[in-house]
Amino acid sequence: MKSLQIPDIRTVANYQPAEASIIYDRHGRVIERVFAENRTVVELEAMHELLPDAFVAAEDGRFYEHKGLDFISVMRALVVNLKSGRKSQGGSTITQQVARGLLLSPEKTYIRKFKEAILAWRIDTLLTKKEILYIYLNQIYLGEGAFGVEAASQVYFGKSASQLTLGEVALLAGLPQAPTRYSPLKHLDRARARQRYVLNRMADDGYITPDKARVAYISKLNLRAGKRGFDPVNGYYLDVVKKQATEILGRPLQEAGARIYTHLDPKLQKSATQAVVSGLRSAGVRQALRDVNSRRIPQGALVCIERSNGRVRALVGGADYFASPFNRAVQAKRPAGSIFKPFVFAAALQDGWKPLSIISDAPLSISGGKHGVWQPKNYSGTYHGDTTLKNALANSYNVAAVRLMQNVGVKRVHAMADASGITAKMPPDLSLALGTVDVSLLEITAAYGPFVNSGIYTEPSFIRRIVVEDKELWRESPMRVQAMTPRTALNMEAMLEEVVTNGTGKRAGGLPGATGGKTGTTDKNRDAWFVGFNGNYISGVWVGHDLNQTLGDKENGGRTAVPIWRDFMAEARGGSAR
């Protein structure tokens, strides 16, 4: 026996195959499976009660009687082989298929068949029939990349093996003999003929009545044809989830067999994608009208976070995931521009200033530094004299913001931004008042959370929990920080509403309920930003070119980013936190 190199069957008894990791949306629906082999191991009790019987009837009618080998079937197959003059694979029992699938190569030789027979007998001696069926039904390849009945149920019917109808059970049971030839997605007529054979075998063996077989055969099959595969709409969000889950698990998702429950809202994600694509197309058209030689469509990103708990409900990192999977919502770090100003104003309020306190928006010269004299200017090129903090923020006066930071102090502004979740290294000078710090859209959107959540910053969260082998391995516990006092937050919320009511964010108006936010435009109109709130959500939008070209004259936060934000929030409005 040693010369035959018979494998050790103890690996069969300790059956632990690589399983797919499954990612779910906020409603518990599967949005992706990550795998080397698409397999989800389930107990027999978690399958349709007739599913094991169907496979036994179709593949090995005497399964419960023989000891791993069915000599009648073997002799029948041998006669067929001799008559045809070639080797075939007929006569294999379910136990032999388990031995072949787990322990042997797929080559068709008499030596391999001999090894297979010995191993099948040993397996039958070592394991119960129930244990052999459990392995077989989780291991068998059933076409379309699906291994095992649970994965096949999802691939072909979009539901669990426990939810199958009798007709669907029989269809799956007909696949092992030739999964490609009998694929219902490609050869439905052949699959139906094989289904009829299985139902007849089940009736002959007494598992079902002939009447049930007939009803099952004429029942409609709801196949998933045309609904399979990766959905690029979710691509950017899922990339973040996969990266975080891999770090939590400490091993590749392809072999982890994890259930990953996310906060993704498919409706909001679809609306976010549509709003970004439509808005970028409009910006590209405007740029082409100004410059007939321009064919550049800008890129963009959108993030939607639930304001009370930091749960990320939608994230779009670009116009087309397949064309460019670079995630501009998370990976891109761009100058913040005026969307940083609220942290300057919040630091001032925290230091005792009031929304109606007066600040000067007159010309300003600051000496020192590597550039000599610095003279900050307003976007419009005009100045407005003495004005209130509320008015200065609403209209995004640059000089007033610099003067305010000069009064409050750079360190206090740093501390406010740090507490609000800004992790980027900030310059130690007054230029920070104009947003000379590179941030990601996700980071800056989450940092607006304290303004509308009683001053509390909550770390953005994508994953609710992760389950492995029916045990909860990890559950979210996002960091929460009191970034500012509730009074400061309340005043900032009102001031940000003024931005939309009477300031640079007017295009965001018109939605039911209170709406507030802040626009931002960087040097030479290279970046257009808007971060705002309405209803249950805070959402942020960025528009720009990857190579940092200008978006064009008159393209700014209010004109370019706000319409995308408003289109999306009009769809998101009315969603409830759960």
Tokens of 283: 């910006």
Tell me how far CA of residue 174 lies from CA of 142, 222, 416, in angstroms: 9, 17, 65
Of 21, 73, 92, 338, the catalytic one is: 338
The C-alpha atoms of residue 231 and residue 25 are separated, in whole angstroms, by 13
Of 59, 150, 168, 555, the catalytic one is: 59
Q: Tell how strand 38-39 and strand 146-147 pair up.
A: parallel
Q: Tell me the angle at which helices 210-218 and 188-204 cross, rounded to the nearest 10 degrees.
A: 170
Q: Do residues 401 and 433 touch, judged by C-beta distance below 8 A?
A: yes
Q: Tell how strand 312-316 and strand 334-335 pair up.
A: unpaired
The helix (run of H) or strand (run of E) holding residue 146 is: strand 146-147
Q: Which amino acid is at 3?
A: S
Tell me if residue 59 is catalytic: yes
Q: Alpha carbon 49 to chain centroid distance? A: 33
The C-alpha atoms of residue 362 and residue 403 are separated, in whole angstroms, by 9
Tell me if residue 324 is catalytic: no
SS (H, E, C) 242-289: HHHHHHHHCCCHHHCCEEEEECCCHHHHHHHHHHHHHHHHHHHHHHHH
Q: Alpha carbon 388 to chain centroid distance? A: 44
What end-to-end distance do the CA atoms of the chain give, in Å?
A: 63
Cβ count within 10 A of residue 193: 12
Residue whose C-alpha is closest to residue 555's, from 315, 294, 353: 294
**Helix-strand-coil percent breakdown of the chain, rounded to 5?**
45, 15, 40
Tokens of 217: 């055969």
Among all residues, which ones are annotated catalytic? 59, 338
